[in-house]
Structure 1
Amino acid sequence: MKFLPILFTTVSLLAAAPAVAHDEETLKEAPPGEPYVKVSDALPLPEFIPGLGTLFVDPETLPAGPFLAYDHDGKLSATVYMTPLEELQNGTAYDGLSIGSHTVSGVDIYYNAGHPGVDKPHAHVVLYHDADAKGRLAE
């Protein structure tokens, strides 16, 4: 429970930060184009990760992202941030993070012990872009 205040701060910062401008239309379908790369092409991860989908990220925005999450049909379903807990505890702020879509129907936040690409313990902050997105990314 020690990281709950940190997660609350993270969500507050994400909600308060202005979204970086982008052409939302170009991100609706995979692949999103440059500067995004498919995470599974760059790291030893599966192409489709149950619960997150097929991920694309601009390497310049690591570790936080955004990671654009697409379902099996290539539809943008979520924007995911991966914020290392140690960096948050040390005062790092992730301001002005972009989003894949300005429509957000729900948010999940959960702990991850680390994986290729973001090796340290971190929080996944997942912004779902429509009511069915979580289900489409589940399997």
Structure 2
Amino acid sequence: MKLVSAALSLVLSSALPALAHDIPVDVAKSPPAGAFKAVSSLVKLPDFLPGMGQLFVDPASLPAGPFLAYDHDGNLVSTIYMLPIKDLNPDKSFDDLAAPGGNVDHVSVYYNAGHPGVEEPHAHVVLWHVAKADEARVAK
């Protein structure tokens, strides 16, 4: 677990300095511009996932992402990375991760055993663009 913590610290320390700006207009509202596609159009998942929101990803960035997460009103609430557990080791790094979501209020990291689209066990690294109390916007 110390290795996972160290790897996530490295990921976050390299990504957070790039986040010191407002949310760019092209991703602030759903659907985002560019190559982003609704995850529900790529794999068998609902359009809205309680606790995460409506997810969009550039398929070329899989499995790590970034995934952009939107609330029911189409407002960006978080940027999520899904980092395979098997890749959190000294031989692999996640450098130059894009941070399209802008300012980060806080970060959550948790384990996921796998789901459609990212079947293998992975860590969710959630860069929240809203205050902790506003996470409820994607709770249901």
Say yes or no: TM over 0.5. Answer: yes
Structure 1 residues 55-66: aligned runs within 5 Å? 55-66=55-66
Structure 1 residues 51-90: aligned runs within 5 Å? 51-89=51-89
Q: For structure 1, list consecutive stretches of 5 or more residues without a partner in the other structure.
A: none
Per the TM alignment, residue 94 of structure 1 is displaced from its structure 2 partner at its CA by 1.1
Q: Distance in 1 between matches of 2:136 and 2:6?
A: 25
Q: Distance in 2 between matches of 1:106 and 1:126?
A: 8
SS at match of 1:33: coil
* 1:4–1:110 distance in 2 versus 1, CA, 3 Å: farther
Cα deviation 1:81-124 (Å, max 9, x = unaligned): 00000012362211111123221111110000001111110000
Q: After the TM superposition, list the runs of 4 or more consecutive aligned residues in structure 1 that deviate by more than 6 angstroms.
A: none
Q: Distance in 1 between matches of 2:6 and 2:49?
A: 26
Structure 1 residues 1-139: aligned runs within 5 Å? 3-17=1-15, 19=18, 24-89=24-89, 91-131=91-131, 132-139=133-140
- Retained in 2: the 8 A contact 1:14–1:97? no
- Retained in 2: the 8 A contact 1:81–1:126? yes
* 1:90–1:115 distance in 2 versus 1, CA, 3 Å: farther
Cα deviation 1:40-82 (Å, max 9, x = unaligned): 0110001100111000000111111000000000000000000
Q: Distance in 2 between matches of 1:73 and 1:128?
A: 16
SS at match of 1:89: coil
Q: TM-score, normalized by length of structure 1?
A: 0.88
Q: For structure 2, list consecutive stretches of 5 or more residues without a partner in the other structure.
A: none
> Percent identity over the alignment?
46
Letter in 2 for 1:86: K
Q: Distance in 2 between matches of 1:101 and 1:47?
A: 20
Q: Distance in 1 between matches of 2:137 and 2:57?
A: 20
Q: Distance in 2 between matches of 1:45 and 1:7?
A: 29
- Retained in 1: the 8 A contact 2:85–2:122? yes
Letter in 2 for 1:105: D
Letter in 2 for 1:6: V
- Matched residue pairs, number? 135
